[in-house]
Structure formats: structure tokens, C-alpha cells
Amino acid sequence: MNPSYEADRVQGIAQSDIRLMSRRCMEVGGVNLGQGICDQPVPDAVKRAAQQAIDDDRSIYSKYEGIDELRRLIADKLRDYNRIEADPDREVLVTAGSTGGFVAAVLSFVQPGDEVILFSPFYGYHYNVLRLAQPTVRSVTLRGDDFAFDPDELRAAFTPKTKAIVVNTPCNPCGKVFSRHELQQIAELCQEHDVLAITDEIYEYILYDGHEHVSLASLPGMHERTITISGFSKTYNMTGWRLGYAHAPEPLARRMGVVADLVYICAPTPLQHGVVAALRLPSSYYETLLADYDAKRAAIMAACDAVGLRSLRPQGAYYLMVDVRGAGFADDVEAARVLLDACGVAAIPGHSFYVDPADGRHQLRLCFAKQEHDLRRACDGILRLPEVMRARR
């Protein structure tokens, strides 16, 4: 292809290391802890509701904002779980995955000349979708074992050109759960500088060690300037269904809805009827989900710590970042290569999650949203590492 065909907005955007590692993992028949795929089943009640909607031929476009019943249930959930008052008819959008909501928000509000603040380590889609809209991305790096930000560094990132800040809590890749205090600091700066907040709360139910999920939009003064994005993919193991939602004050929600309509018209209608049943699941569903991930987190952390891949203990979500230096690796790329080739475990080099790759050069990300037998196989592979390292000397 003639490279000059390419629009400026896609220059330099490539498939992430995650896809690359997945392909290599398949070639060597390893266990893929690189990609965040939850391969657990979708709850039966949700499958049945979707099947029924298909049988009933509820197959035509819905309104761009989604079916009424689902928006009402989402508004209830936002009120009860997130402490966000939401008008289901004016402020809630059902989207094609949370990604659909994020794309609609970025295309609606971000343009060349704007600045957007993004914490590193980041979720790759956030960075790349932002790049499509061509703002200047200002990174604030989360550092230390608890991935804290330096309040002065954050303050310095706000300029008269700042249009928005992206906050992903619980965070992929590092598992950070932003505390109420940290969110208050962010909220104050947003208000001082009249900046929009775009949150990604897709892992909001996966919290460990007593950490609390706080939605930025629930803090005083933030309802009117926050776009809250979440989705069904992770909580109900349905990444392929492509269903998510967004809440924003009416004028912002309307703008995003019109843009989402242009990009994909609506989220898949029969599946919207299916997830109505998801929002009616009892609280025991979430308790079981959490207990399962907590046990998996413990298993992967134990295996990593045993071989010197020091765990940076995740507070939420289902990813573990480790520091590779204690296992004798010079950097993340070497660690990922040896883990895959010699131990049969794919992980993602940490540098791919940072605007300045040097910040992540001693880290690896491992996803533990795996079925038990795969996770056990991965842990066994990791435990072979000392032997592999001895043989390399």
C-alpha cells in the first residue's frame, strides 16, 4: 500500500504487543497470560434471555441510546452501586462495549490542539483511541508498589489546553484502585481547570483486600463534568457480546449518542435484552466472581514471588504486574521471551503500558482471568524458571 494513503491520525498506531504475544503463544502451545480473556461461562439466565430475544425476533435497531428497560436498570445500578444519580432517558447510553462509549466520548470532545491527561501504565486502547483524535497526551506516571501519583506532577500536567483526564479504576494493567482521597485530588483539579473526566470502571466489581470502588462522578462537583463508562464484558464473561454503557450529563450524553449512532447505530439489540437478566442477578453472583478471582490472584502471586518475579499486589481487576529484576532479568523483553520459550507462559512486557517505555522496562503483566487448569499449568511453568535460569548461566 502507498503509505501516503494513510490519514495522519493513524500514523504510528499499530497492533499492541498483546496481540503479538498471543500469536507467538499459539505457535509454541503455551498458556496465554498475555491477553485479558475471561474464558468463564456467561450466566445461564443471561444466555436464556438473549436466546429468547432472538427467538422473538427482537432483531431490529434499537434507539441509539439502547432499549428502555436496560437503561432503567443501568440507572438503578448507577444509583445503588456507584452513587451516581442518572436520568435513564437523558443521561444513559448503552454502547457497543465500553470501548464504544470511550470512542464516542473521545470523538465527541477531543480534537487536535487539546491536551488529555492519561496515567501510565495505561490500557492500550485508551492511548490509541486518544491518538486517533490527535490531542497531545500528557502522561502522569503511577510509581512504586502501590502505583501512586505525585500530586505535584498531576497538578503540573493541567494546563490551559487540558480538555480531559482519563481515569481507569480499577486499573488495567496495574490493578490500582484509586482511593477516595486520590479521586478528590483529581476532582479538585478538574474543577479548578474546567476539565472533563472520562472514567473507565469496567473492573468495578473486582476488588481485593477490602478496597472500595469509588466513582469519580459521585464526588461533589463532578457529576456535571464526568463521563462514566463501564460494561458487561468483564463482570459477566461476555467480551464478545460487545455491550457496555456510559453515563454523562444530558448535553454530553446526547452528543456522544449522536456520534455512537454514526459509528455503529446501536448495540446489538437481542443481546441488550439478554443483559437485562445480568442486572437482575443476585448479589451472591458478584461474591462468587470475586472469590474466584481472589483465589486465582493468590495462586499466581505465590508462583511469581517464589521465583523472584516480585508481585506488585493488585488491588482490583485481574492482572498482576511483577518486577522481573529479582529473577535475574535485565529487562521486560528478555523476561517475556524466556517465560514463553522456556516456561510456556505468555506475559506482556511492561514497557508497552507506558508513554515513556523506560518506566516499564522492569515489569511484566500477567492476566489471571483463566480457567483453573490453565492457571495451574501457567504456575507450574513459572515455577520452572529458576531451573531455566541456572541452565542459561
Ligand X SMILES: Cc1ncc(COP(=O)(O)O)c(C=O)c1O
157 three-state secondary structure:
helix
| 147 near ligand X (CB under 6 A) | no
CA distance 305 to 140: 28
**Does the protein bind ligand X through residue 231 (CB under 6 A)?**
yes
The answer to the question of residue 315 lying near ligand X (CB under 6 A) is no
Q: Quick one: which of 215, 239, 269, 272 contacts ligand X (CB under 6 A)? A: 239
Count of residues of this chain found to bind ligand X when the rule CB under 6 A is applied: 13
Helix-helix angle 269-278:68-80, to 10 degrees: 40
Residue 168 interacts with ligand X (CB under 6 A): yes or no? yes
Kindly state the smallest distance separating residue 55's Cβ from ligand X, in Å. 26
Please provide the size of the chain in residues: 393
Other C-beta atoms closer than 10 Å to the C-beta of 326 total: 14
DSSP 311-354: EE--SBSSEEEEE-GGGT-SSHHHHHHHHHHHH-EE-EEGGGG-
**Of 66 and 244, which CB lies nearer to ligand X in the complex structure?**
244
Q: CB under 6 A: which stretch of 59-67, 155-163, 231-239, 298-306 binds ligand X?
A: 231-239
Stretch that binds ligand X, among 23-31, 50-58, 94-102, 188-196 (CB under 6 A): 94-102
Q: Is 117 helix (H, G, I), strand (E, B) or coil?
A: strand
List all residues 6 or more positions away from 174 whose beta carbon is below 8 Å from its beta carbon: 121, 142, 147, 312, 314, 319, 321, 353, 365
172 binds ligand X (CB under 6 A): yes
Beta strands 136-141 and 115-120 are parallel
Site string for ligand X, 28-67 (x = CB under 6 A): --------x-------------------------------
Q: Which uninterrupted H or E stretch holds 119?
A: strand 115-120
How far is 59 from 356, CA to CA, in rounded Å? 46
**Could you say which of 34, 97, 257, 350 contacts ligand X (CB under 6 A)?**
97
Minimum Å gap between C-beta 243 and ligand X is 7
CA distances from 373 to 94, 296, 343 (A): 35, 11, 16
Q: Which is nearer to ligand X, 17 or 329 (CB)?
A: 17
Closer to ligand X at the Cβ: 116 or 343? 116
Q: How far apart are CA 70 and CA 79, in angstroms?
A: 14
Q: Which residues contact 51 (CB under 8 A, 6 or more apart)?
A: 274
Q: Is 244 in the site for ligand X (CB under 6 A)?
A: yes
Under the binding rule (CB under 6 A), the answer on residue 363 touching ligand X is no
Task: Pick the binder of ligand X from 123, 149, 208, 329 (CB under 6 A).
Answer: 123
For 46, 119, 278, 290, the CA distances from 38, given in Å and listed in that order, are 16, 25, 16, 13
Based on CB atoms, which residue is closest to ligand X, 112 or 240?
240
Of positions 98, 162, 226, 315, contacts ligand X by CB under 6 A: 98
Q: How far is the CB of 167 from ligand X (least distance, A)?
A: 11
Q: Is 162 in the site for ligand X (CB under 6 A)?
A: no
228 binds ligand X (CB under 6 A): no
Q: Which of 16, 22, 82, 233 binds ligand X (CB under 6 A)?
A: 233
Q: Closest distance between ligand X and the C-beta of residue 117, in Å? A: 16
The Cα 243–Cα 239 span in angstroms is 8
The Cα–Cα gap between 243 and 275 comes to 8
Q: How far is the CB of 199 from ligand X (least distance, A)?
A: 10
Region binding ligand X by CB under 6 A among candidate stretches 10-18, 92-100, 305-313, 385-393: 92-100
**Quick one: 123 or 329, whose CB is closer to ligand X?**
123
Query: What is the CB neighbour count within 10 angstroms for residue 8?
Result: 8
Q: Rounded to the nearest 5°, which phi and psi values hold at 358?
A: -60, -30
Binding residue (CB under 6 A) for ligand X from 202, 259, 307, 335: 202
Q: Would you count residue 204 as binding ligand X (CB under 6 A)? A: no
Binding region for ligand X (CB under 6 A): 36, 97-99, 123, 168, 172, 200, 202, 231, 233, 239, 244
